[in-house]
Amino acid sequence: MDKTVVLGITGGIAAYKGAEICRLLVKSGLKVKVIMTRAAAAFVSSLTFETLSGGPVGLEMFQRPASWEIQHVSWAQEASCFLIAPATANIIGKTSQGIADDLLSTTIMAAAGPVIFAPAMNVEMYNNVVVQENIARLKSLGYHFIEPESGFLACGDQGRGRLAEPQKIVDYLLKVLQQKKDFEGKTFLITAGPTREPLDPVRYLSNYSSGRMGYALAEAALERGGRVVLVSGPVGLKPPFRADFTAVNTALEMRDAVLKEFPEADIVIKAAAVADYRPEDISLQKIKKSGGDLVVKFQKNPDILGELGKLKKQQLLVGFAAESESLAENASRKLKNKNLDMIVANDITAPGSGFEVETNQVRVITRGGEIKDFPLMAKRELADKILDEIITLKKST
């Protein structure tokens, strides 16, 4: 593989494991450029990494002898990927706050390609809310993290904080390098989450959609080179940083946002759980519990996907179907009635599938009648499978 990786070694006892990671990267055919922080060099000699990588190790910003290239910029440009292993709380914190005060943090700041952190630290440090917030921020900005493992730590504590196994780290990096960019130049319009249909200033009708499925699709599409417009109902997730994001509440607001973006879209995926009905009258004041039963009249919401099916030109239309019975028949009917190219049917009664959970189990049906069943898997993994099916469908037309 004719690719260069910048391997950043930061100062923790796991720095010695960086040597094994360096060896495995070289063995995989990658060119490796190593940068060590001062603290890392206190744990392991730079000579180890010079020998394993077959090149000079970057240590200081203003190292002598200087070459005419500006090292932090030229290495960043040359690298297809960055791997920081082990990554201390310090380098994670600096990167998340935009601090560039040594060779490694400056080079990370100039990186154009993917950056992977493999944290290793004491369990209490790892669980510290500040560290976790920094990790969450970096993740939302598209940085990769390889979770540390649990076990006996050098400090004598027991718990999560031990550097992941070197082979696991290298396998992850190779997967990132091989990531397909098969949606470059394509615009996705993805909907996610529930809608809220207000009854009065404090009450609404909604459903259990967490947005996880739609957000996973948005992440996958972005990683595969697509532009993503994400229209989302109220959920507790952070939208992917690089997505164009529109937040909505009601089905009518979602309809407006979707119709506005639809003409520019190449691929539309409607993973949102849109309320089919809304209270006909919204009380301006909180409804009091005086009197007997409360009778609410519901009015039908527009079928957004059905409208898109009628307007469709170049767009490939993918719907979801949340079914509690007759999965195949109901999903196939929706595919036909809404003029879709593909429908992803989830049996919401199956354990671990559908609303709220991290996993999903689906059946994909195309307009040509092809059927593919996918076993229960993480929604993020499934998102890539659905995108693969879209590629297959596009090729066949």
Out of 161, 166, 226, 354, which residue is the one contacting ligand PMT (CB under 6 A)?
Answer: 354
Contact between 213 and ligand PMT (CB under 6 A)?
yes
Q: Tell me whether residue 217 or residue 222 sits nearer to ligand PMT (CB atom).
A: 217
Closest to 206 measured CA to CA, from 295, 300, 273, 282: 273
**Which one of 271, 316, 317, 387 is in contact with ligand PMT (CB under 6 A)?**
271
| Shortest Å, Cβ 210 to ligand PMT | 3
* 306-310 long-range contacts, CB within 8 A, separation 24+: 306/337, 306/338, 307/255, 307/259, 308/258, 308/262, 308/268, 308/270, 308/338, 309/337, 309/338, 309/339, 309/340, 310/339
* Distance in Å, CB of 332 to ligand PMT, minimum: 12
Q: What's the min distance (Å) between Cβ of 269 and ligand PMT?
A: 8
CB of 303 to ligand PMT, least distance (A): 5
Q: What is the number of alpha carbons within 13 Å of residue 23 lying toward its C-beta?
A: 9
Nearer Cβ to ligand PMT, position 114 or 354?
354
Q: Does 320 bind ligand PMT (CB under 6 A)?
A: yes
Q: What is the number of alpha carbons within 13 Å of residue 171 lying toward its C-beta?
A: 5
Is residue 243 within 8 A of residue 211, CB to CB? The reply is no
Return the residue matching tokens 């920094």.
134
Q: Which stretch binds ligand PMT (CB under 6 A): 10-18, 57-65, 140-148, 204-212?
A: 204-212
Closest CA to 147 of 139, 155, 157, 158: 139
Residue 155 a catalytic site member: yes
Region near ligand PMT per CB under 6 A, out of 35-43, 66-74, 268-276, 289-297: 268-276
Strands 277-279 and 197-200: unpaired
- Asked if 233 interacts with ligand PMT (CB under 6 A), we say no
The amino acid at 229: V
Annotated active-site residue in 112, 154, 155, 371:
155
Site residues (CB under 6 A) for ligand PMT, limited to 142-201: 193
Binding flags for ligand PMT, 281-310, as an x/- string (CB under 6 A)? --------------------x-xxx-----
- The CA distance from 274 to 305, in Å, is 10
Q: Given the rule CB under 6 A, which of 131-139, 271-279, 281-289, 369-377 is the region that contacts ligand PMT?
A: 271-279
Closest among 350, 288, 1 to 170, alpha carbons compared: 1
CB of 330 to ligand PMT, least distance (A): 7
94 binds ligand PMT (CB under 6 A): no
What is the nearest approach in angstroms of ligand PMT to the Cβ of residue 213? 4
Q: Give, in degrees to the nearest 5, the angle at Cα 172 between 168 and 173.
A: 120
CB-nearer residue toward ligand PMT: 241 or 277: 277
Choice from 270, 361, 383, 393 touching ligand PMT (CB under 6 A): 270
- Phi/psi at 368 (nearest 5 deg)? -80, 0
Query: Among residues 106, 346, 361, 366, which is the contact residue for ligand PMT, using CB under 6 A?
Result: 346
- CA distance linking residue 160 with residue 164, whole number of Å: 10
Please, are residues 365 and 328 in contact by the beta-carbon 8 Å criterion? yes
Tell me how far, at minimum, the Cβ of 90 lies from ligand PMT, in Å: 35
From the CB of residue 290, how many other CB atoms can be counted at a distance below 10 Å? 5
Of 244, 253, 276, 388, the one binding ligand PMT by CB under 6 A: 276
Of 65-73, 138-146, 278-286, 319-327: span binding ligand PMT (CB under 6 A)? 319-327
- 322 touches ligand PMT (CB under 6 A): yes
What residue ranges bind ligand PMT (CB under 6 A)?
193, 209-213, 251, 270-274, 276, 301, 303-305, 319-322, 334, 346, 354-356, 379
Active site residues: 155
